[in-house]
């Protein structure tokens, strides 16, 4: 979610417009073939994690298509690949064997764009948030966090987990996959940039991801 001026790399297109990071793009051509085989609507209760008491999410108020679920998903991408469909507001974690875990996501507001490929270089539990200077210009109330950062906690915009995306040359794109306390933003284009998941979902995704160049992230 933190953004500086990232370099444009082959296979990675960044369009930055005074934001922390962002994503808008076309839908997945395979989405029409997706069929749910298991849904985890009961996975959003209270969670105590590293001493933090995450509240239950009123999941009945979230459109059921955005609940975590196992779906049929045919792709040639290898197990462990993450495919993000920002138009449909879905993130797929490829399981192999024609299956994927699908999570509902929130994406960047209109006017921010990123599409291409990256990889999860590293990940962090209960991360510190550093807003970009550009955001502080628009929202003076966050200026104090630019340098010192906002400590981890239930109100931290990065939520319970963050995964940091780097380009193929090993440079930080400043884009993140992260949690959010704002469960009602899932399924919308309302974030300041990066791909956000409900905290209970980002904890699940985090447990599956093994950082490194094999942890590919494809934004369609």
- Residue 2 clears pLDDT 60, i.e. is over it: no
* pLDDT band at 113; cut points 50, 70, 90: low
Contact assessment for residue 3 and residue 21, using Cβ atoms and an 8 Å cutoff: yes
Average pLDDT over residues 80-93: 96
Average pLDDT over residues 192-219: 94
Pairing assessment for the beta strands 107-108 and 82-85 based on DSSP bridges: unpaired
Average pLDDT over residues 58-73: 98
Instruction: Out of 21, 67, 130, 178, pick the active-site residue.
Output: 178
Pairing assessment for the beta strands 99-104 and 90-96 based on DSSP bridges: antiparallel
- Residue 8 clears pLDDT 50, i.e. is over it: no
Instruction: Out of 21, 67, 130, 194, pick the active-site residue.
Output: 194
pLDDT of residue 9: 37
* 67 a catalytic residue: no
* 21 a catalytic residue: no
Q: At a CB cut-off of 8 Å and minimum separation 6, what does 52 contact?
A: 126, 152, 153, 154, 160
- Residue 1 clears pLDDT 80, i.e. is over it: no
Domains along the sequence of the chain with CATH:
12-219 (2.40.440.10)
pLDDT of residue 116: 87
């Amino acid at each position: 979610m933190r953004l500086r001026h990232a370099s444009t790399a082959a296979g990675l297109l960044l369009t930055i417009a005074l934001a922390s990071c962002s994503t808008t793009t076309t839908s997945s051509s395979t989405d029409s073939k997706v069929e749910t085989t298991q849904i985890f609507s009961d996975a959003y209760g209270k969670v105590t994690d590293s001493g933090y008491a995450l509240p239950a999410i009123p999941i009945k108020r979230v459109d059921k298509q955005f609940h975590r679920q196992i779906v049929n998903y045919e792709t040639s991408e290898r197990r462990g690949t993450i495919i993000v469909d920002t138009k449909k507001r879905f993130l797929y974690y490829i399981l192999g064997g024609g299956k994927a875990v699908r999570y509902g996501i929130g994406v960047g507001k209109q006017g921010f764009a990123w599409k291409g490929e990256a990889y999860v270089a590293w990940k962090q539990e209960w991360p510190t948030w550093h807003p970009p200077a550009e955001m502080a210009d628009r929202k003076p109330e966050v200026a104090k966090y630019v340098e010192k950062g906002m400590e981890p906690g239930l109100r931290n915009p990065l939520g319970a987990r963050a995964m940091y995306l780097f380009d193929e040359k090993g440079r930080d794109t400043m884009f993140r996959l992260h949690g959010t306390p704002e469960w009602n933003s899932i399924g919308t284009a309302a974030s300041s940039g990066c791909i956000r998941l409900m905290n209970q979902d980002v904890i699940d995704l985090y447990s599956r991801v093994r950082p490194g160049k094999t942890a590919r992230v494809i934004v369609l």
